[in-house]
Amino acid sequence: MNSSNHNNTIIFGIGNSARQDDGLGWAFLDKIGKTGFFGGEKQYCYQLNIEDAEILANYDKVFFVDAYEGNDIKDFKIEKCKSNGEITYTTHALSPDAVLALCENIYKKNPEAYIIKIKGYKWNLEEGISEKAKSNLKSAIIYFRDKYF
Amino acid sequence: MSKKIIIDPVTRVEGHGKVTIQLDENGNVKDSKFHIVEFRGFEKFIQGHPYWQAPLVVQRLCGICPVSHHLAAAKAIDRIVGIDPEDLSPTATKIRKLLHYGQVFQSHALHFFYLASPDLLFGTDADPAIRNVVGVAQEHPELAKKGILMRKFGQEIIKATAGKKIHGIAAVPGGVHKNLHRSEIDYFLDGKDIPNVDTMIQWCLEVIDFMKEYHKKHAAWLDTFAAYPSGHLGLVSKDGKGTLDLYDGLLRAVDGEGNITLNDIPDFEYHKYFNEDVERWSYLKFPYIKHLGREKGWNRVGPLGRINVCDSISTPLAEKERKEFMSYTNGKPNNMTMHTHLARLIETLHAAEIMKELLHDEDITGNELVREGIRRNEGIGVIEAPRGTLIHHYKVDDAGKITKCNLIVSTTHNNDPMNKAVSWVAQNVIDKKEEITEGMLNQVEVAIRAYDPCLSCATHAMGKMPLKLSVYDNKGNLKNELVKS
């Protein structure tokens, strides 16, 4: 992908930089903002909300970047979202799949969507990402750049 | 066999709560409680900070209604810098009001479309996989779309006045830090980029009509479910007309029959009239009017409480709806919990009308942003947040450092009312039932959800919200457990 079609791409950085590695989503946006290889839209958010479905409807491609605390991935993982997957809604925060489903149901748009899960380790009320999580972030950005740009 | 039923936490409310229902050997409800189990800390750790930080820091206790905390704290800090509400410049007052009513508008829209409508549209015992906002979008996409755009309108108002949608900054001690420019105002009026404020008013009227039609079909349920007499509390205008005022006013309370129990007292005298009690089983306090005592002095706050205590609404369309609403109870307070939804929609309409008035008011483009007064060592700010009366109280030392902070958050006032609602459902829905179904348990949540509680605010903490239901026998052994994730 060259810079001319970045305009149809948006990246959601999900998290909270005041809770250590929960800030990985925002740090991802900070880093790619400095490197300059991505020319599309960037959106910082604490959580996904229903109104994000409207934003998605304006793009061809979307990436959701979020910290991940499970032990089933080593450093990071990129998965394609499934707007037709099982829909659950338990709080005011939505999953990427659910936001995509809303986008499809309400706006009849179905952008190509991926979630980038970056493994984190520390979640206390402190600023700053742990060293191991920084390493995972770096790996994720390199892979993201090489594969998609 | 005696059972204990726990719903932990309650879903589709903001925050984290747990419901416990204790049954005896015969399946009769023995006791019920709505516990708030998050820990609070803001009142303590704000101590030592300079006073001007309060509106910036304390709003962080919530991601849903930070504007309300920002403004309540700002009003308190205004008094510390010697500026009473009447002393603010017209521009500062109106920018703050625009921000506040934008917040009320988006918060009420969030609640109705995302949290309440699934129960109304699909029924309280519908499949939970459908009974949610995604289900609403699938079955009623146009309704869902309006919900999204109404919430967006309110959030854009917040962004225009406070810089960003969550945790923005509009107020500074004694005023605001910016006015609105013509282009910012036109964004909300010309309808080019987003549906304009007139469309918001029209959609509010449509949703109110929907709710009134729904009431015609389900009056028996809406009129009786979790209904009980109670006190009601809210702010009314200072001009002697008793008009609904969400930004600034006098504290008024009535009992379930409409008798005045708190007669338009200045908000900064709240501590003369209110006490707060505590219980071992909840971090949430229990405020009550002193002279009525703990048993009789508690009040509902929020849309239903406010509509019940005011004498009128200043905007014509909302006033017409208020009159119709009050005529249903012959002018007496409406004690029907589920009517809170319609009261909330009337306020949503009022907020839209106020936003329109303010957007056409040249004062919001004015340049007198901040005024200065003579420093004081104490400040109290009271505002009607979307969920009810919100009180911020600060004391500072001569160096300007905060030495005391007391917050009585809207949901705190509703602590007793929500417990009463849970008790009603326990007694009327769960009592003597052999099998406890998901639909029955959801009715507990429906009763709580009508109050739109913000438990994060009430306890000033963050938390995840899986749902866990545990059934215990009379010896405390776990007999059954359901988990919603």
pLDDT of residue A148: 83
Number of domains chain B contains: 2
CB contact under 8 A, A102 and B63: no
The letter for the amino acid at B312 is S
Helix pair B182-189, B340-359: axis angle to 10 deg? 140
pLDDT digits (tens, 9 = 90+) for A73-105: 999 999 999 875 454 444 456 789 888 988 998
Average pLDDT for A32-36: 89
Q: Are B372 and B340 in contact (CB under 8 A)?
A: no
CB atoms inside a 10 Å sphere around CB A81? 21
Q: Which two tokens stand for residue B291?
A: 């002279």
pLDDT digits (tens, 9 = 90+) for A102-116: 899 889 999 999 999
Nearby residues of B392 by Cβ (< 8 Å), 6 or more positions away: B54, B58, B69, B72, B73, B75, B76, B380, B381, B382, B405, B406, B407
DSSP A68-108: E--SS-SSEEEEE--TTS-----SSSB-HHHHHHHHHHHH-
Residue B145 distance to chain A (closest CA, Å): 6
User: Is A92 within 8 Å of chain B by CB?
Assistant: yes
| Same domain? B35 vs B138 | no
Structural domain contains residue B364: no
Q: Are B484 and B11 in contact (CB under 8 A)?
A: yes
User: Is B2 within 8 Å of chain A by CB?
Assistant: no
Out of B114, B135, B144, closest to residue A106 by CB: B144
Out of A51, A54, A89, closest to residue B134 by CB: A89
Residue A87 distance to chain B (closest CA, Å): 7
| Same domain? B35 vs B157 | no
CATH number of A3-148: 3.40.50.1450
Of all residues in chain B, the one with the smallest CA distance to A95 is B134
pLDDT of residue B320: 98
Question: What backbone phi and psi angles, to 5 degrees, belong to B372?
Answer: -120, 150
CB contact under 8 A, A46 and B63: yes
Question: Mutate which of B7, B148, B166 to test chain A, going by most A C-beta atoms within 10 A?
Answer: B148
Q: Are B451 and B228 in contact (CB under 8 A)?
A: no
* Structure confidence at residue A3 as a pLDDT band (50, 70, 90): very low
Q: Are B325 and B334 in contact (CB under 8 A)?
A: yes
Q: Are B421 and B447 in contact (CB under 8 A)?
A: yes
pLDDT of residue B471: 52
Nearby residues of B86 by Cβ (< 8 Å), 6 or more positions away: none
Distance CA B85, CA B429 (A): 47
Q: Which residues of B25-53 are buried (b: 16+ CB within 10 A; e: fewer)?
A: eebebbebbbbbbbebebbeebeebebbb
Q: Which two tokens stand for residue B302?
A: 């929020």
Extract the residue ranges of chain B whose pLDDT is less than 70: 1-17, 35-40, 63, 454-485
Residue A89 distance to chain B (closest CA, Å): 6
- Parallel, antiparallel, or unpaired for β B175-176 and B282-289? unpaired
Structural domain contains residue B267: no
pLDDT of residue B313: 98
Structural domain contains residue B335: no
pLDDT of residue B162: 95
Note if the bond before B9 is cis, omega within 30 degrees.
yes
Distance CA B167, CA B422 (A): 33
Of all residues in chain A, the one with the smallest CA distance to B142 is A106
* CB burial of residue A84 (10 Å; 0-12, 13-18, 19+): exposed
pLDDT of residue B459: 38
User: Is B1 within 8 Å of chain A by CB?
Assistant: no
CB contact under 8 A, B466 and A101: no
Q: Which domain holds residue B452?
A: 3-40+418-484
Structural domain contains residue B68: no
Structural domain contains residue B302: no
DSSP B10-52: -SSSBS--EEEEEE-TTS-EEEEEEE--SPP-HHHHTTTSBGG
pLDDT digits (tens, 9 = 90+) for B284-319: 889 999 999 999 999 999 999 999 999 999 999 999
Q: Which residues of A touch B485 (CB under 8 A)?
A: 88, 90
User: Is B56 within 8 Å of chain A by CB?
Assistant: no
Of all residues in chain A, the one with the smallest CA distance to B133 is A89
pLDDT of residue B278: 87
pLDDT of residue A1: 42
| Same domain? B30 vs B94 | no
User: Is B14 within 8 Å of chain A by CB?
Assistant: yes
Q: Which two tokens stand for residue A100?
A: 């995509």
* B202 bridge partner residues: none
Q: Are B447 and B424 in contact (CB under 8 A)?
A: yes
pLDDT of residue B30: 80
Q: Which residues of A touch B467 (CB under 8 A)?
A: 90
Distance CA B97, CA B383 (A): 11
| Same domain? B146 vs B208 | yes
Q: Where exactly are the structural domains of chain A?
A: 3-148
| Same domain? B115 vs B220 | yes
> pTM of the prediction?
0.87
The residue count of chain B comes to: 485
CB atoms inside a 10 Å sphere around CB A60? 14
| Predicted confidence (pLDDT) at residue A45 exceeds the cutoff of 70 | yes
Structural domain contains residue B311: no
B111 secondary structure, DSSP code: I
Q: Which residues of A touch B135 (CB under 8 A)?
A: 87, 89
